[in-house]
Structure 1
Amino acid sequence: MRQMLENCQVIPCEAGGDPGVIHDGAIIINGNKIEAVGRREDLAPLRSQFEPHQVRDLGGRWVMPGLMDMHVHLSLALPGNGHLLAQVEDDMDLTMRAYRNALNALEAGVTFLRTVGDARFVDLHIKRAINSGTLKGPRLFCAGHMVIITGGHGHGRGAKEADGPEGFRQAVREQLRAGADLIKLAITGGIAGEHEAITDSQATVAEMEAAAQAAHNAGRRITAHAGSAKAITQGVLAGLDCVEHGYFLDGWTVDLMVKQGTFLVPTLSVSRAPEYMRERGCPQWMIDKALRAGEGHMQSYQLAVAAGLPVAMGTDMLPAEDYDNTLAVYREMEWMVEGGMSNHEVLLASTIKAAELCQVQDTLGSVSVGKLADLIAMPENPLDNMQNLRKLDFVMKDGEIYRDF
């Protein structure tokens, strides 16, 4: 079916410094793709092709591409109460909980989720159900199980433990066999590990090289949970395409990442969310550990932004979870602005730059002719104030409306 959205301000989110807002705009959608976008007066001659029910007046709303969250665990169960409950979940319970989290994210305007480590391949199962039309939901781009050393970060929470280059190579191939779109490693300790420091190196260079080779041989990108500059430097030289968190970067490491074209997904929220953690029953040691990392985490992000490192938005929370009087995905974007990016840069990091990271920029990430019709809208301009995203009240995926004002 063809449809026309009109009386809107369009933020294309195409790469470049100028936002290129189309005021008093209109968008023509044919099936699940964008057929035309431009000023309403320029598309007016085509309006006669539509029946009244095919034309939607957006009331002056600001339209942009659907948000793309690059760091999600649909089966997230933090240390504490959540982890205890997860231990007794059967497969159906886990699947229903993870699917609910995915659907909530879509209703919050996140039309694309990059999952970076889930238990029992639940992300891949849900993806297949959505892609087949069995379930409604966002687009999923999945890593399957995170690959870690024995007892490494994430052990006991659905990660795949392996050791040595051959062990890592086999573990990566197991994820590929299951249908993984990307590979995720953990190469240092993290906030959620009680008996590890964030800066502890875990994977060896040889293990990382073997994993990267296996991923790249299959045409997949590889990313890693990583905290220390030393481990990140080793990982980038071993072939990482992206770094998650980057808690403690230094100038030399950032310059290397820029040279290599390595992405950063900073997940700023995870080191500045004490109330969020308390409400979920996280232990005090974890809260203290997160807060101790907060200053260095923000400074690392600021180093990356100043150096021009490619950055994509990721929450490392469930995107639609309550956090700091809003939803996690909106607050993460606000932190990114507070850390030094312009509003437009953060919108790009949450759309077209994220699409580039996942190599889907030809079909997603901007309001452009020929791309899939994944759109969100809100009454006020997020270029003026990122908190205007909190007022989002319209979500479309594949030309189908999932949330309406």
Structure 2
Amino acid sequence: MKATAIASSLLLASSISFALETKKNDYDLRIDNVQILTRNAEGFSEKSRIYIQGDRIARITPMTRTALPAENTHDAQGKYAIPGLIDLHVHLSASGSTYENYQHLPLEANLNNHLYYGVTTVTDLLMSSDMMRSVLQLTNSAPRVFASGPAFTNPKGHGTQFGVKVHEIDSIEQISASWDAHLSYQPKLTKAIIETFDGTAIPLSDDVLKEIGKRSQSANLPFFVHVSTLEDGKRAIRAGATALAHGINFEPVDNEFIKLMQQNKVTYIPTLSVYHNQGDEHENQSIGQLDLAPIHPKMKACLFSEVKAPKTIRALAWQKKSIAYNNVIKLAKAGIRISAGSDSGNPYSPHGLGLISEILALHKAGLSNQQVLLATTYFAAQTLNASEDMGSISQGKRADFILLNKNPIENIQAITNPEKIYLAGSAVKRTKLIEKNYATTPIGFSCESSSEN
């Protein structure tokens, strides 16, 4: 009786072992003949196989190894795989239309836009509490959203004009209650705003900024600070900023700034395109020549028909773009981490398309194709404290990546025409994204009249 029980136990153990071994080699998807971008973006691997299980990359092997069984397979035919793009500065509550002909689109449409262009992760830097709740309910069918929730700003300061809740702070004593509210939104990062509007407003004090930075560090939340001037940038760094949301566009950076950036390992997010897109479109039609397929026809009509010359701050930014470009190159040469953020949602920066134009702007500024790729993949993931989960293509990471027909290290334009996009291990149906967006009616005024549509 005892021997029979032992034999039965051995048989059961053998069956379990066989089942586990079978499961080990039973993958959801295998992609063959793919060349994979290295983490440092210096080149591409030899032709390889990517095995996907669920939403993860389970294994990567060279083509010389025997193929393991998978439920589905795809022959990439030597195409180039790069990680899903990461946009470090978006505003999902806005659509990218002009303020004169404002068009509002829902969250889903804006996320569809991002996904169409291969943007699989976005960082929202000013989000309402209602939208934060919506983001928490998103599934793997939408790009991941790293959201700050309401931003910290001075009373009646920048951010208060958009009709969403912000934390208005003018003393350290006010921070505690606002910080508790901040954490209640389950944010993935913190955003504070320094904006003096050329000296006409009183910004957050150094003490307040440092306290917010200290609390962010304790909560392991990246600390993004909106800046515009060189002095504001220095104040943000001293306060513990992880990243500068916006670059220094109107004055050259100096050695003190560079040393502060180096010593504190701060990421520089220049957001060139949000300042320059309207001027570029007015003079060169550079944005309108890109693939506009997922942009709603009404939005396209409002943005790319009879584009007016920019005014005020945008006009000045376009005139002085060489300063912004030179700052990017100077910082890159100093070893500062440059990352890509589009500030999409602002005029002439539609979601998804905004990051593509930012990539091209960084290239135009003088970054190498390798540096541009790192700016929107691995460096961006590092800035979000998420490089163990995304930003490169390797075993264990989320299966977010893009297949390109041409090598983007040789020609960065290759990134504008993805062959295939994978989000959480599933191939994205780009035509479906277009159909969904076109079925959505933007809320706002027409471009031809002031009547409500």
TM class, shorter-length: 0.7 to 0.9
Q: Any conservation in 1 of the 2:277–2:349 contact (CA below 8 Å)?
A: no
Residues 233, 79 of structure 1: CA spacing in aligned structure 2 closer, same or farther, 3 A cutoff? farther
Residue 69 of structure 1 corresponds to 87
Contact 1:277 1:287 in 2 (8 A): no
Structure 1 CA distance for aligned equivalents of residues 95 and 378 of structure 2: 29
Per the alignment, do residues 178 and 292 of structure 1 end up closer, same or farther by CA in structure 2, a change over 3 Å counting?
A: same
Specify the alignment match of 1:46 in structure 2: 67
Letter of the 1:34 partner, please give it: I
Q: RMSD between aligned alpha carbons?
A: 2.9
Question: Who is 1:126 aligned against?
Answer: 134
Higher mean displacement: 76-85 or 62-71: 76-85
Q: What TM-score do you get using the length of structure 1 for normalisation?
A: 0.84
- The Cα of 1:199 is off from its aligned counterpart by 10
Structure 2 CA distance for aligned equivalents of residues 308 and 199 of structure 1? 34
2: CA distance between counterparts of 1:106 and 1:20? 25
Call closer, same or farther: CA 1:388–1:307 in 2, change over 3 Å. same
1:166–1:210 contact (8 Å) kept in structure 2 = no
Report the counterpart of residue 4 of structure 2 in structure 1. Answer: none
In 2, distance between residues paired with 1:79 and 1:29?
Answer: 38
Q: How many Å separate the matches in 2 of 1:56 and 1:198?
A: 58
Q: Measured at CA, do residues 296 and 199 of structure 1 come closer, stay the same or move farther in structure 2, by a change above 3 Å?
A: farther
- Name the amino acid aligned to 2:67: L
Give the ranges of 4+ consecutive aligned residues of structure 1 lying more than 4 Å apart after TM superposition: 77-80, 82-86, 198-201, 275-283
Q: Size of the alignment, in residue pairs? A: 376
1:148–1:203 contact (8 Å) kept in structure 2: yes
* Distance (whole Å) between structure 2 residues aligned to residue 214 and residue 166 of structure 1: 14
Q: Which residue of 2 aligns with 1:376?
A: 402
Deviation per CA, 1:248-296: give whole Å up to 9, x if none. 4322112111111111111111221125787559973343243255332
Report 1:46-195 matches (<5 A).
Answer: 46-47=67-68, 49-50=69-70, 54-76=72-94, 81=99, 97-122=106-131, 124-131=132-139, 136-157=141-162, 158=164, 160=166, 161-189=168-196
Q: Which deviates more, 69-78 or 173-182? A: 69-78
Larger relative contact order (C-alpha < 8 A, sep ≥ 6)?
A: 2
What is the aligned partner in structure 1 of residue 384 from structure 2? 358
Partner of 1:90: none
2-structure distance, mates of 1:301, 1:261 = 15
CA shift digits 1:62-85 (9 cap, x unpaired):
111100111111112679536966
Q: Aligned pair 1:3/2:29, yes or no?
A: yes
Q: CA deviation at 1:56?
A: 0.4
1:120 Cα offset (Å): 4.1
- Unmatched tracts of structure 2, length 5 or more: 1-26, 283-301, 432-453
Q: SS of the residue aligned with 1:68?
A: strand
Hey, what's the Cα distance between the residues in 1 that align with 2:427 and 2:96?
A: 32
TM-score, length-normalised on structure 2? Answer: 0.76
> d(CA) in 2 for partners of 1:77 and 1:100?
9
Letter in 2 for 1:46: A
Higher strand share: 1
Cα distance in structure 1, aligned partners of 2:255 and 2:107 = 38
Shift of 1:61: 1.7
Give me the whole-angstrom Cα distance separating, in 1, the residues matched to 2:194 and 2:171.
13
Q: Please tell me whether the aligned partners of residues 224 and 243 of structure 1 are also in contact (alpha carbons under 8 angstroms).
A: yes
